[in-house]
Amino acid sequence: MPSSPPWWRDRRVIPWLVQGVVGLVVLVVIAFLLGNLVRNLSAAGLLLSWRWLGQPAGFDLSESVLPFNAELPYWRALMAGLVNTLRAVAIGLVGSTLLGTLLGMAAFSSNGLLRRLAVVYVEVIRNIPLLLQLVFWYFVVFLSLPNGTDALQFPGVVLAKSGFYAAGFEQGHWHGPALINGVWHAPLRLSVELTALLTGLIAYTSAFIAEVVRGGIASVAKGQWEAAASLGLHWSITLRRVVLPQALRVIIPGLNSQYIGLAKNSSLAVAVGYTDLYSVAETTLNQTGRAVEVILLLLGAYLVIDLLISAVMNGLNRLVQIRER
């Protein structure tokens, strides 16, 4: 009769035992850290409290998509900052994807000049720190733009020191930028801070996206190009109809981390005076002194934004993967 081994040598028990011990150690460490946090915070008279969120903020924001004034509470200010961040991230994502894809495709162009320009762009932009580029765009480029009648005017678009103005529909009619009493008005207006931030973010991220796209295209077997060419397809049709759909499988996971990077980099907005979540949080922190709470909120907000981007991209990734039958 086969005697069963004692429990401490049982193959079915040991893994559970080990997992349990590790789990317990992790729990104890977390409990120790949290206990210490609470003890030290209360010793410093800084026990976590969220009541300040309901108090009037008392400061104004230079721009906000949500309506905001100084009498509204802190949480509304933080929400306004969050929406401003999301706005910059959303425009940044679209812009850098378009520009990055074009640049990545240009690297395979039959036009040698275009090919080399794309390489030079990528190498120059991605090797200069983003902060430096933002400061350059804002303080050197945009703040030296002229104002009023001297502003740079293109059909439907005006670039002035006070901001970026573009034509659009307003009350059912098409309106271009117009100068009224020395101040530009237009249906679409971006402050010069947001314009500088977007320019910097898009220029920087598109260089990385270009490399991801280039890598994706390069991963498609040479035979695919040759097959398309033998059918007499034009270079651009080959790229769009034959190569890119296959390259997407390689590109999308790489894009994911670039998108997340862009969302996080948007917090550098504070360097160019754009009122993003980080900028509002910093003012809030200084006014309330609730450093730990504000930092926790910030950490949470950026984590959620990035996880959302990740979730969407992972869903997209599943869509383009080869389904084996």
Partner 1 sequence: MAPLHRRLLAAPLLMALLLGGCASEGGGSGGATGVQSQKLDTVRGRGKLICGVDGKLPGFSFVESSGSYSGLDVDICKAVAAAVVDDPNKIEYRDLNSSERFAALASGEIDLLSRNTTMTLSRDAAGGNGLSFAPTTFYDGQGVMVPVASGVKTLKDLAGKPICVESGTTTELNLADRMREIKAAYTPLKFQTGDQTYTAYLGGRCVAVTSDRSQLAAKRTSFPDPQAHLLLDEVLSKEPLTPATVNGDPAWADAVRWTIFGLFQAEELGITKANVAAKVAEAKANPNLADLRRFLGVEGDFGKQLGLPPDFVVKAVSAVGNYGEIFERNVGQESKLKLARGLNRQWKDGGLIYSPPFR
Binding site for partner 1 (CB under 8 A): 33, 36-37, 39-41, 43-46, 58-63, 70, 129, 131-132, 139, 143-144, 147, 161-162, 192-193, 267-268, 270-271, 273, 275, 279, 282-283, 285-289, 291-292, 295
Closest CB to partner 1 among residues 286, 314: 286
Closest CB to partner 1 among residues 121, 139: 139
CB of 256 to partner 1, least distance (A): 23
Q: How far apart (Å, rounded) are the C-alpha atoms in residues 212 and 201?
A: 17
Closest CB to partner 1 among residues 15, 56: 56
Chain-centroid distance, C-alpha 122: 19
Closest CB to partner 1 among residues 162, 246: 162
Closest CB to partner 1 among residues 68, 208: 68
CB of 51 to partner 1, least distance (A): 11
CB of 62 to partner 1, least distance (A): 5
Closest CB to partner 1 among residues 99, 269: 269
The three state secondary structure string of the chain is CCCCCCHHHCCCCHHHHHHHHHHHHHHHHHHHHHHHHHHHHHHCCCCCCCHHHHCECCCCCCCCCCCCCCCCEHHHHHHHHHHHHHHHHHHHHHHHHHHHHHHHHHCCCCCHHHHHHHHHHHHHHHCCCHHHHHHHHHHHHHHHCCCHHHCEEECCEEEECCEEEECEEECCEEECCEEECCEEECCEEEEHHHHHHHHHHHHHHHHHHHHHHHHHHHCCCHHHHHHHHHCCCCHHHHHHHHHHHHHHHHHHHHHHHHHHHHHHHHHHHHHHCCCCHHHHHHHHHHHHCCHHHHHHHHHHHHHHHHHHHHHHHHHHHHHHCCCCC
CB of 282 to partner 1, least distance (A): 5
CB of 132 to partner 1, least distance (A): 7
Closest CB to partner 1 among residues 225, 278: 278
Q: Which two tokens stand for residue 111?
A: 């036009």
Closest CB to partner 1 among residues 1, 43: 43
CB of 141 to partner 1, least distance (A): 11
CB of 185 to partner 1, least distance (A): 13
Radius of gyration of the chain from its Cα atoms, rounded to whole angstroms: 27
CB of 84 to partner 1, least distance (A): 12
CB 169 within 8 Å of CB 187: yes
